Amino acid sequence: MTTSTLKKALAHTYMTLLTLPIIAMIVWYFLAATMNFTTGEFSLDNFSFFTEPVEYSGIKLPLIWPIVLNTIVYSLMIVAIEVGISVPTAYAFSRLDFKGKGAALKFLFLMRSFPGITLIIATFFILVKMGLVNTYLGVMLVATTGSLPGLVYIMKGFFDEVPWDIEWAAMVDGTTRFGAFKKVLVPYVLSGIGAISVFAFLGAYGEWFLFKLLIFNDDMLTLAGYLAKLVTKENQIVNYGLITAIGLFYTLPVVVFYIFTQKMFMKVNMGGAKQS
């Protein structure tokens, strides 16, 4: 009895000690955004970016709201495109027999483990030739190409878990193959589609490198690129208060979103569970 209590106490102390730095960081993060450190008083001065364009030590950035709109539109479009392509593709890889399937799968896997950044110079030149530099289309093409292999692979796993019986039952019950896909398989793997939507969204929301590389107009940036601009000038005095404040504004939606969707993430593996 006493040893188990002791063990518990030890475990709890250990866990608390390990978690403390993380908690401290979060607290510090909030403090940095909402406190004036010279006077030690609470202030919302750092949040003035809500109402006026950001401007300090030579950096001038546009007002944040159009950027927010860019971010939302860009992220949702990426989700729509990537989910729209990866779900049928994954179905094909999981269910159909076609020539070169094995090779294509291997290639997908290779693409997934290949560091995309090494291709960036070639990508840039191709986009220049195609006249797609400084356009959203260019960014989206590169971004989707980069993340599709991974999403297809994840989605294929979900389709693999759907019993053939279910698909056959639908076909016997009067659907075409596509009808079975639409009416039975897609609902079956809905949690998987949810999961890859979230991955696609988070990927798009956090995309700053492609914007830095391919977009030259500051008013076309998304939040991640906007934030990146604040810290990447040389020899500048970094305004921590401002960066944390914008950072907070940038992270909060994701945190809230995660709190609401984490249940779905936990359920992800139930997708293929047997019914009995």
Partner 1 sequence: MITLRNIVKNYDGKKESSRAVDGLDLVINKGEFVALLGPSGCGKTTTLMMLAGLLKPTSGEIYFGDRLVNHVEPKDRNIGMVFQSYALYPHLTVRDNIAFPLRERKMPKAQAYERAKEMSKIVQIDHLLDRKPSQLSGGQQQRVAMARALAKDPEILLLDEPMSNLDARLKLDVRDEIRKLQRELGVTTIIVTHDQEEALAISDRVAILNGGKIQQYAPPEELFSQPVNLFVASFLGNPPMNLIDGVVQEDKGVQAIVTSGFEFRIPEARKLEAKHIGKPVKLGIRPHDLMLTDGSDPNAIAMKVDLVEHLGSGKLVKVMDAEQKMQSTIRFVTDNEAPVRHGDTIQMKIREDKFHIFDMTEDGHNLMQFR
Residues that bind partner 1 (CB under 8 A): 163, 165-166, 168-176, 179, 184, 187-188, 190, 274-276
Tell me the closest approach of the beta carbon of residue 80 to partner 1, in angstroms.
22
Residue number, 72 or 171, with CB nearest to partner 1 = 171
Pick the closer one to partner 1 by CB: 41 or 165.
Answer: 165
Nearest to 251 by CA among 117, 71, 51: 71
Q: Compare residues 45 and 173 and give the one whose CB is closer to partner 1.
A: 173
* CB closer to partner 1, 33 vs 189: 189
Q: How far is the CB of 264 from partner 1 (least distance, A)?
A: 15
Measured from the CB atom, is 59 or 166 closer to partner 1? 166
Minimum CB distance to partner 1, residue 267 (Å):
13
| Cβ 230 vs Cβ 240: under 8 Å | no
Q: Where are the alpha helices (DSSP H) in 43-130?
A: 64-95, 101-113, 120-130
Minimum CB distance to partner 1, residue 172 (Å) = 5
CA 199, chain centre distance (Å): 5
Rounded to a whole number of angstroms, the CA Rg of the chain reads: 24
Q: What does the alpha-carbon distance between residue 145 and residue 131 come to, in Å, rounded to a whole number?
A: 18
Q: Give the 3-state secondary structure of 3-16.
A: HHHHHHHHHHHHHH
Distance CA 148, CA 153 (A): 8
| Residue 167 CB, nearest approach to partner 1 (Å) | 8
